[in-house]
């Protein structure tokens, strides 16, 4: 198993090319999460995630012959970018296999960093199979995303930084995919202070670490789509499971809507862009999924590579979850002025109308009536309750669309 000396050696190798990301205290999130929360902003790395730490540590240990032949890896995006950027910078030819579902922004960025990108398979596992085939066929060195000691040691350098940046650190919350990030940080942190709690967070849709911990061996869980694609790994690494069983104190899962809400809150309150995987730990803290209360907690924002269009959708979903975007379907008599009467209620309550749609033939509307669908912007759940009460008091038939 990787040890503290391995991680310190990795730090020595990569420190000239890797940014020491800030670990900033958040007053807003500390109040909501009931802990003193510090955000480790790995989304500020050159390629937008922590992955380049492990990738560079691995690349720097290749032999001259291995560098000459080139490398290959499989990734949904962040590992791909880390390998592509540093391999190209070091003059090493790199091929990356990405699943067909990989976000366009990550595919484009990986190509921009100098890699030959091949799109193959519906998920990471199928891309991995193709990458290992290419490695064998062309004698390329395969750079694993998480199940490799050099990768784990590279990610562990974050743990060294955390112990220096957060005095009296009591807990670390880390998103978990294949387990390399959790494994590396846990080894470093626990070696320096065994009392610090390590909390792993996965998306509930792809809870491969839970399955592995229950079975005491890696288990391949069923495929599923998730907005946290960076941690949507169906099978954790053998090395990382061993570390998790020894050093991880707590494991929790979060739902898709909770992740979307965390992304929105980070954007709105911290002015920080996080992808789904990068916000998973934040979601766990905000939703009180962990046992942590009143602790000094470092939470990893481990990636910020999110497609702008997808970000728009996530923001919209987050607004809906928070009650700041609501749809109401209202049926009323179809006469001149009815729209004015309804919107008068909205005006009085300072509710902003985002979209209106009239329908006179569908939704079971009675002859002589009209159905109006309103998409409304509110201040939140209490404001919505006030709105619905006012519509009821005015005698309108309506339903809230969810």
Query: Final residue of a domain: which of 318, 337, 358?
Result: 318
| Residues 183 and 116 reside in one and the same domain | no
| Residues 342 and 375 reside in one and the same domain | yes
Residue 37: predicted pLDDT:
98
What is the distance between the terminal CA atoms of the chain, rounded to a whole angstrom?
Answer: 49
Nearby residues of 66 by Cβ (< 8 Å), 6 or more positions away:
141
Query: Collapsing DSSP states into helix, strand and coil, what is residue 326?
Result: strand
Here the tokens at position 46 are 């050159």
Nearby residues of 322 by Cβ (< 8 Å), 6 or more positions away:
261, 264, 380, 381
Contact status, residue 239 vs residue 54, Cβ threshold 8 Å: no
Establish if 281 belongs to a structural domain: yes
Query: Final residue of a domain: which of 271, 294, 318?
Result: 318
DSSP notation for 283-300? HHHHTT-SS--S-EEEEE
Provide the residue range defining the domain that includes 8: 4-50+152-318
Establish if 58 belongs to a structural domain: yes
pLDDT tier for residue 340 given thresholds of 50, 70 and 90: very high
- Supply the CATH number for residue 327's domain: 3.30.70.260
Q: Identify any residues that bridge with 303 across adjacent strands, giving them in sequence order.
A: 49
Neighbours of 100 (CB within 10 A): 12
Contact status, residue 151 vs residue 55, Cβ threshold 8 Å: yes
Establish if 342 belongs to a structural domain: yes
> Tens digit of pLDDT for each residue in 320-332?
878 899 999 998 8
Mean pLDDT (the chain) is 94
| Residues 170 and 33 reside in one and the same domain | yes
Establish if 147 belongs to a structural domain: no
- Please state, in angstroms and rounded to a whole number, the distance separating the CA atoms of residues 43 and 273: 8
- Pairing label, strands 250-254, 197-203: parallel
- Please state, in angstroms and rounded to a whole number, the distance separating the CA atoms of residues 209 and 220: 10
Taking 80 as the threshold, does the pLDDT of residue 203 lie above it? yes
CA torsion sign for 292, 294, 295, 297 is positive
Taking 80 as the threshold, does the pLDDT of residue 303 lie above it? yes
DSSP notation for 238-259? HHHHHHHHHH--EEEEE-HHHH
Query: Final residue of a domain: which of 277, 297, 318?
Result: 318
- Please state, in angstroms and rounded to a whole number, the distance separating the CA atoms of residues 321 and 317: 6
Query: How many domains does the chain divide into?
Result: 3
| Residues 247 and 206 reside in one and the same domain | yes
Residue 181: predicted pLDDT:
98
| Residues 182 and 273 reside in one and the same domain | yes
The residue that leads in pLDDT, 261 or 186, is: 186
| Residues 160 and 34 reside in one and the same domain | yes
CA separation (Å) from 45 to 158, 308, 387? 12, 18, 44
Helix (H), strand (E), coil (C) string for 42-79? HHHCCCCECHHHHHHHHHCCCCHHHHHHCEEEECCCHH
> What phi and psi, each to the nearest 5 degrees, are found at residue 379?
-90, -10
Residue 110: predicted pLDDT:
94
CA separation (Å) from 369 to 37, 325, 361, 378, 396? 53, 26, 9, 27, 12
Residue 18: predicted pLDDT:
97
Contact status, residue 163 vs residue 192, Cβ threshold 8 Å: yes
**Mean pLDDT of the 354-363 span:** 83
| Residues 302 and 195 reside in one and the same domain | yes
Here the tokens at position 22 are 């800030």
Contact status, residue 331 vs residue 358, Cβ threshold 8 Å: no
% of the chain residues with pLDDT over 70: 100
Query: Collapsing DSSP states into helix, strand and coil, what is residue 103?
Result: coil
Residue 362: predicted pLDDT:
73
- Please state, in angstroms and rounded to a whole number, the distance separating the CA atoms of residues 302 and 281: 9
- Please state, in angstroms and rounded to a whole number, the distance separating the CA atoms of residues 232 and 214: 18
| Residues 177 and 239 reside in one and the same domain | yes
- Supply the CATH number for residue 124's domain: 3.40.50.1100
Q: Is 364 left (phi over 0), alpha (psi -120 to 50) or beta?
A: left
pLDDT tier for residue 335 given thresholds of 50, 70 and 90: confident
Which residue has 């954790």 as its token pair?
236
| Residues 193 and 130 reside in one and the same domain | no
Largest alpha-carbon pair distance within the chain?
81
pLDDT tier for residue 76 given thresholds of 50, 70 and 90: confident
| Residues 221 and 255 reside in one and the same domain | yes
- Please state, in angstroms and rounded to a whole number, the distance separating the CA atoms of residues 351 and 268: 20
> What phi and psi, each to the nearest 5 degrees, are found at residue 366?
-75, 150
pLDDT tier for residue 364 given thresholds of 50, 70 and 90: confident
Residue 2: predicted pLDDT:
96
């Amino acid at each position: 198993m990787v040890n503290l000396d391995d991680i310190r050696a990795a730090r020595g190798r990569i420190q000239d090319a890797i940014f020491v990301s800030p670990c900033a205290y958040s007053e807003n999130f500390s109040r909501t999460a009931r802990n003193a929360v510090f955000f480790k902003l790995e989304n500020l790395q050159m390629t937008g995630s922590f992955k380049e730490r492990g990738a560079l540590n691995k690349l720097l240990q290749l032999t001259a012959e291995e560098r000459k032949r080139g490398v290959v890896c499989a990734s949904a995006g962040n590992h791909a970018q880390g390998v592509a950027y540093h391999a190209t910078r070091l003059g090493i030819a790199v091929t990356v296999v990405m699943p067909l579902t990989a976000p366009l922004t990550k595919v484009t960025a990986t190509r921009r960093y100098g890699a030959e990108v091949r799109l193959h398979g519906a998920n990471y596992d199928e891309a991995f199979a193709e990458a290992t085939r290419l490695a064998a066929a062309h004698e390329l060195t395969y750079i694993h995303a998480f199940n490799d000691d050099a990768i784990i040691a590279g990610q562990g350098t974050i743990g060294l930084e955390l112990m220096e940046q957060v005095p009296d650190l009591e807990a670390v919350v880390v998103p978990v995919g294949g387990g390399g990030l959790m494994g590396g940080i846990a080894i470093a942190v626990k070696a320096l202070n065994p009392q610090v709690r390590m909390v792993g967070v996965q998306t509930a849709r792809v809870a491969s670490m839970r399955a592995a911990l229950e079975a005491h061996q890696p288990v391949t869980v069923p495929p599923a789509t998730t907005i946290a694609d960076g941690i949507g790994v169906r099978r954790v690494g053998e090395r990382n499971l061993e570390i998790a069983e020894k050093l991880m104190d707590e494991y929790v899962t979060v739902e898709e809507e909770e992740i979307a809400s965390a992304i929105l809150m980070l954007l709105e309150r911290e002015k920080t862009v996080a992808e789904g995987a990068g916000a998973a730990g934040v979601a766990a803290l905000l939703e009180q999924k962990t046992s942590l209360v009143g602790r000094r907690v470092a939470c990893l924002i481990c990636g910020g590579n999110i497609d702008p269009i997808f970000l728009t959708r996530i923001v919209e979903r987050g607004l809906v979850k928070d009650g700041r975007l609501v749809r109401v379907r209202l049926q009323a008599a179809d006469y001149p002025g009815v729209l004015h009467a309804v919107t008068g209620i909205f005006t009085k309550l300072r509710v902003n109308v985002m979209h209106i749609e009239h329908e006179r033939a569908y939704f079971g509307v009675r002859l002589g009536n009209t159905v109006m669908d309103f998409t409304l912007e509110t201040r939140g759940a209490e404001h919505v309750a006030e709105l619905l009460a006012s519509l009821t008091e005015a005698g309108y038939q309506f339903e809230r669309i969810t």
